[in-house]
């Protein structure tokens, strides 16, 4: 079983490496510095991710908690919070995270309604409420930390689910970004996310379908089922894209372009992992209740 998991990770690594290699060559041919920086950053993250996955639950937990820590740091930085408040928020976040990691599955799933409520509340908030110094603690407690806990639990259910998330989200994001820039003409959200086009979204869906083919064959973590694939396509197409729009809306209300400049070509940690965090509660629900079939135990 250990060798099988390592083999899956290796296959995931090789396909991702090939895909990023093609993107890098494309950036050189098109003389696109933005695509080049974006691809090189993804190559670096790929190696960190594969290293984390190869170490099992502990490795994945450390990886995703690191994402959370850097994400919280850049989020709190935007509010110029007093040092005492940052310490209070950090301690509160740590206590909540530890409690979530020690909780059983039933308690973990209770966080899903809280996450959805936080999403709906944030969508209704105007700029003044988003800029309120109390918003960071509410958002981290009711969205960021629960999503990280759900991702850790999802790995415990099956590591193949994590490979699927990264693989399908990356195919969706890359196809939408590369081909949307070339053929995108119909911009649906000019204020919230001006670079996202209808054509880019549909081509991102093509990327998801291609990703599913790889996950049925060379990286066999999903058994073929039309019903299963339809659900996965719907989840990743809908919630994967909604995650990007959701965080873009927060950035626009804060009056910023990116959460930070930590990752060249992407912005900050939250800019890169926004769709991963957003999709976590929805995919966890489907996988935990076996509504999505084919993840080998």
Listing DSSP states for 132-147 in one string gives STTHHHHHIIIIIHHH
CA distance 172 to 237: 7
Question: What is the separation of C-alpha 2 from the centre of its chain, rounded to a whole number of angstroms?
Answer: 26
Q: What is the pLDDT of residues 82-105, one digit of tens each?
A: 989 999 999 999 999 999 999 887
pLDDT bin (cut points 50, 70, 90) of residue 183 is confident
pLDDT bin (cut points 50, 70, 90) of residue 194 is confident
Average pLDDT over residues 14-24: 92
Position 294 scores a pLDDT of 52
Q: Which residue has the tokens 């396909």?
A: 15
Question: What is the separation of C-alpha 283 from the centre of its chain, rounded to a whole number of angstroms?
Answer: 12
* Closest of 137, 57, 136, 149 to residue 101, by C-alpha: 149
78 CB-near residues (< 8 Å, 6+ apart): 254, 256, 259
What is Dmax (Cα atoms) for the chain? 54
Q: What is the pLDDT of residues 141-179, one digit of tens each?
A: 999 999 999 999 999 888 888 999 999 999 999 888 877
Q: Which residue has the tokens 């079983």?
A: 1
Q: Which residue has the tokens 């309604």?
A: 113
Angle at 65 between CA 60 and CA 71, to 5 degrees: 130
Angle at 71 between CA 70 and CA 73, to 5 degrees: 65
Three-state SS at 267: strand
- What tokens does 59 get? 């490795």
Dihedral of CA atoms 159, 165, 168, 171 in degrees, nearest 10, equals -110
Average pLDDT over residues 69-92: 93
Q: Using an 8 Å Cβ cutoff, are 276 and 49 in contact?
A: no
Residue 4 pLDDT > 90? no
Position 201 scores a pLDDT of 87
Phi, psi (rounded to 5 degrees) for 164: -60, -40
CA distance 242 to 113: 17
Residue 110 gets which letter from DSSP?
T
Give per-residue burial for 261-292: e unless 16+ CB within 10 Å, then b: ebbebbbbbbbbbbbbbbbbbbbbeebbeeeb
* Helix 56-77, helix 33-54: angle, nearest 10: 140
| Average pLDDT score, the chain | 89
Position 195 scores a pLDDT of 75
């Amino acid at each position: 079983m250990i060798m099988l998991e390592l083999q899956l990770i290796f296959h995931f690594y090789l396909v991702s490496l090939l895909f990023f290699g093609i993107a890098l060559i494309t950036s050189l041919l098109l003389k696109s510095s933005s695509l080049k920086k974006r691809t090189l950053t993804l190559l670096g993250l790929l190696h960190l991710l594969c290293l984390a996955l190869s170490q099992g639950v502990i490795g994945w937990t450390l990886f995703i908690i690191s994402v959370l820590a850097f994400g919280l740091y850049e989020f709190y930085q935007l509010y110029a919070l007093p040092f005492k408040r940052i310490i209070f928020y950090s301690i509160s976040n740590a206590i909540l995270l530890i409690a979530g990691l020690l909780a059983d599955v039933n308690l973990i799933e209770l966080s899903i309604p809280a996450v959805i409520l936080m999403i709906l509340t944030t969508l209704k908030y105007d700029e003044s409420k988003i800029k309120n110094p109390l918003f960071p603690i509410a958002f981290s407690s009711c969205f960021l930390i629960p999503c990280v806990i759900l991702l850790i639990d999802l790995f415990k259910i099956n590591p193949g689910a994590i490979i699927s998330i990264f693989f399908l989200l990356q195919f969706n994001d890359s196809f939408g970004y590369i081909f949307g820039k070339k053929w995108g003409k119909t911009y649906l959200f000019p204020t919230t996310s001006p670079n996202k086009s209808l054509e880019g979204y549909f081509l991102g869906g093509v990327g998801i379908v291609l990703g599913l083919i790889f996950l049925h064959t060379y990286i066999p973590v999903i058994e073929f089922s039309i019903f299963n694939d339809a659900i996965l396509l719907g989840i990743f197409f809908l919630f994967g894209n909604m995650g990007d729009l959701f965080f873009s809306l927060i950035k626009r209300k804060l009056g910023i372009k990116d959460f930070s400049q930590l990752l060249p070509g992407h912005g900050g940690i939250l800019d890169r992992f926004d769709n991963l965090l957003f999709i976590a509660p929805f995919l966890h629900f489907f996988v935990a209740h076996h509504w999505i079939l084919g993840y080998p135990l």
